[in-house]
Each structure stands twice: as structure tokens, then as C-alpha cells.
Amino acid sequence: MASAPFRVPPAVDTSPATPVQSGVSQLRWVILSLLLGITIVNFIDRQTLSVLAPKIRELFHLSHEAYGRVVAAFQFGMMTGEFPMGWFMDRVGVRIGLATAVTWWSIATGLLGFARSGFSLGFLRFWMGTGECGNYSGGVKTVNEWFPRSERAFAIGIFNSGSMIGSIIAPPLIVFLASRFGFRWAFAGPALLAAIWTPIWLRFYRRASATQSQAVPGRQFSSRELLQYRQAWAIMLCRLLVGPIMQFYWYWMPDYLYTVRGMTLWQIGAFSWIPFLMGDFGSLSGGWVSGLLIKRNYTINAARQITMYTGGVLCLTSFAVYFAPGAAICLAVIGVVLFGHTFLSANMFAAVPDMFPDSAVARVTGLHGICGGLSGFLFPLLTGFLIDRFSYAPVFALAAIMPLAGVIALFVVSRGLQPVAAAN
């Protein structure tokens, strides 16, 4: 599918090694650890509602379709906020930009404990979404500025693994807080964690001039001009198809295990973290494998294709989830799906700086986040409709097909991750 050869002469990674030579190396790993930390908090926030979904639906008398609308409200917020957040990150930088985003979404998270209806739940989840989308536009831009090209997918894999770590922590933590102190504290706890993180980020983040050499050089692009490039549409189409699948497992798996597999809320808290642990391994290994391939003189395009197609094929096991003979096997199969999804996702995000210069990275991340938000908004509505009228089976079938289709779209439309500077 790519026009470029799969192997290149030695010294494929021309990014200078300035951070290591100047002593900035340790600082960039501190920055990455802070990105990992806030991503964990972000996904504890997101998971709180889904972990409590069986009880929340009973408390507010919500059908599956009504719950789907609440989930869709969050995704609509993500879609609405993606490009403004990306523009904001490119404009003011990630130090202030990410701190602002975290403060904005943590206020909405804390207020969720005071919701009184499905409408107020949906409104506050929408508010959350307008801020939480900044986690990735800020994170990808930070990695692009502080890490050489051969390490970017691995660095993204590390902070993206926070999505899985947060999903592992969330079920037992949220069930404990809700059972011990009431469901309002299940929302307040993550909000307090975000409030603690923000001043730490502001204090320790420093833009070292040497790290600017890690960003891909290039001219400035207007926001409108970005849409003229097929590379932007390629990454947008990929995210449109790949994005909602992980969200489906985040937001609907507890309800599926409760209503179809007959697990109790305590059992969900005790065991539903296992697939997310497998997803965590996928995120780390996907970034590590692509970096290893690049260091062994594979082209960027080849390294991304190998890892992303492997992940897309593993996602096909979603077909088997509904037909698994028991809850334990069901969780194991879901784990394979999540491993495959995160294996490709780290490289999907890394494809943005592969094709665009630093001055446009956050905005392009925001653009493909809009597409992720759009499909994330529509997919829960479709999910609720299919479950109430049929079953979970057609939803798991869609979850099997869409990631591989997204990978194919990325490489076909972008013509092998061709950088915009080389585009005709």
C-alpha cells in the first residue's frame, strides 16, 4: 500500500540527540510521567459513570437508549471541544493549555455527584468532554516537542497506557467509594486528583530550547489550509472508525457483564479490570515494537503498517465475545481485543507528527479527535438502539470490523504516511 520501500539505509532517525547530550533527558521523562498521571485520572473520570451505570440507570430510571444519550453527550462534548483545544494548545503551548483543560473538566466531574436527572447527567458529561479532549492534543504535542521520532510512538504508548491503567483502577476504586461513602464521592475523588495534579504540572514543566529541535521543521499552516491535505483526512477517517470501539468497551462492558453475563457489581469491580490490563500491555508494546523496527532501519511507514495492521487483525476477535461460553472466557476475549486496539492506537497518534510539523500537530490531533467524537457520539446511540431491539451481538460485530477498516483507510488515503512537506 505504500510507495516507499520498507527498509532504509542506516541512520534512519535523523532527529538530533540533543536532549540526551544536554542533560534534558531526565526532565523529558518527568514530563512524560506527568502526562501518564493525568491520563490515568482522565480515564478514571470517564469510567466512573460506566462503572456505576447499572445503579445509575436504576436510580434515574434510564433505559439503554437513554443511557446511550448520556454517553453520547460526553462524546458530543469531545467533538465540540477537540479543535478549539488543539488551537489553544498550538497558540499558548501545552504548559498553560493542558493545565487549563484539566481544571475545566475536573470542575464538571465534581459536579456530576449533584446530578438529579438524565438531562443533568448529560449536560455535565458534555461539559467534561469539552475539556477532556485536550488530554490527547496536549499530550501528542508534548511528545512531539520532547522526543525524537524513533521514540515518539513508545512515548505516546506510555502516556496512552494511562487510559488502561485508569480503567483498571476505576472499577474497584469507584465501587469502594460508592459503597463506603455514596456515589457522589465516586465523582468527587477523581476531581480532587486532577486538582492536585495541576499545580505540579505548572511547576515542573519547562520548555527547554534544546527540545525544539525534536519537532519536525516546517512552515506555518492556517487551520483552513490543513483540510486541503489528504493526510489530514486520512487520519480523521482512521479515528472515525477506530475511536468509538474502545469507548464502547469502556462505557458498555459493565452493563453487558451485569445484564447479560449475570455478574454482580462487586464481581465487575473485582474482575472487569483484567481486559484493561491486557490493553495496557498492548499500548506499551505497540509503541515499543514500532520504535524497535525504526531503529532496525525500517521506514516509518513500514513500522506503522506492521504494528497497526497487527492490532487491527487482533480486534477481529470481537466477533467471538458474544458467543464466549462463560464470563471468564468472555473477559479473556475482550482482553485480546483491547490489546489489539491499543497496539495500533499508539501508532495512530504518532502518525500525526509523522506527517505534520509541530506548528500544526495539536490542531490536526484535534481534527481527528473531532471525527473520534462524532463517531463516539453516534455509536452509543446506535448501540442503545441495537441492544434494546436486538442484542449485543451486532454491536460486537461492528467493533470487530471497524478498527481494521480504519487502518486500511489511513494508509490508502495518506499514500503511506507521506509528510505534507513532500505532498504534491
The CATH number of domain 23-422 is 2.40.50.140: no
According to DSSP, the residues that pair with 7 across neighbouring strands are 298
More confidently predicted of 219 and 125: 125
Residue pointed to by grid coordinates 434510564: 62
- Alpha-carbon dihedral 6, 11, 12, 18, rounded to 10 degrees: 160
- Alpha-carbon dihedral 224, 228, 229, 234, rounded to 10 degrees: 90
Distance of CA 196 to the CA centre of its chain: 22
Q: What is the pLDDT of residues 324-359, one digit of tens each?
A: 998 889 999 999 999 999 999 889 988 988 898 877
pLDDT number for residue 25: 66
Q: What is the pLDDT of residues 98-136, one digit of tens each?
A: 999 999 999 998 898 888 888 888 999 999 999 998 998
Amino acid at the residue 199: P
* 268, 250 contact by CB (below 8 A): no
- Written as nine digits, the cell of 6 is 520498507
Q: What angle do CA 417, 282, 393 make, to 5 degrees?
A: 95
- In this predicted structure, the answer to whether residue 260 has a pLDDT above a threshold of 80 is yes
> Using CB atoms within 10 A of its CB, is residue 381 exposed (0-12), middle (13-18) or buried (19+)?
middle
Q: What angle do CA 228, 234, 240 make, to 5 degrees?
A: 115
pLDDT number for residue 383: 87
DSSP string, 128-157: HHHHHTHHHHHHHHHHHHHS-HHHHHHHHH
**CA–CA distance, 287 with 135 (Å, rounded to integer):** 18
Residues 6+ apart with CB under 8 A from 13: 148, 149, 150, 294, 295
pLDDT number for residue 314: 96
- In this predicted structure, the answer to whether residue 413 has a pLDDT above a threshold of 60 is yes
**CA–CA distance, 318 with 254 (Å, rounded to integer):** 16
Angle between helices 358-389 and 393-413 (to 10 degrees): 160
DSSP string, 148-213: -HHHHHHHHHHHHHHHHHHHHHHHHHHHHHHHHH-HHHHHHHHHHHHHHHHHHHHHH----GGGGG
Q: What is the pLDDT of residues 307-332, one digit of tens each?
A: 999 999 999 999 999 899 988 899 99
**CA–CA distance, 140 with 136 (Å, rounded to integer):** 6
What is the Cβ-side half-sphere exposure of residue 419, based on CA atoms within 13 angstroms?
15
- In this predicted structure, the answer to whether residue 30 has a pLDDT above a threshold of 80 is yes
What is the Cβ-side half-sphere exposure of residue 63, based on CA atoms within 13 angstroms?
10
pLDDT number for residue 422: 47
- In this predicted structure, the answer to whether residue 208 has a pLDDT above a threshold of 50 is no
Using H for helix, E for strand and C for coil, what is the string for 59-112? HHCCCHHHHHHHHHHHHHHHHHHHHHHHHHHHHHCHHHHHHHHHHHHHHHHHHH
pLDDT tier, 16 (very low <50, low <70, confident <90, very high otherwise): very low
Neighbouring CB atoms inside 10 A of 15's CB total 16
- In this predicted structure, the answer to whether residue 216 has a pLDDT above a threshold of 80 is no
* 371, 351 contact by CB (below 8 A): no
Helix (H) or strand (E) holding 26: helix 25-51
- In this predicted structure, the answer to whether residue 92 has a pLDDT above a threshold of 90 is no
Q: What is the pLDDT of residues 39-90, one digit of tens each?
A: 999 988 888 887 787 778 888 888 877 887 887 888 788 888 888 888 888 8
Amino acid at the residue 138: G
Determine what percent of the chain falls in helix, strand and coil, rounding each to the nearest 5: 80, 0, 15
pLDDT tier, 170 (very low <50, low <70, confident <90, very high otherwise): confident
Sketch the domain layout of the chain as residue ranges.
23-422
Taking the CA atoms of 397, 366, 361 and 279 in sequence, report the sign of the dihedral they define: negative
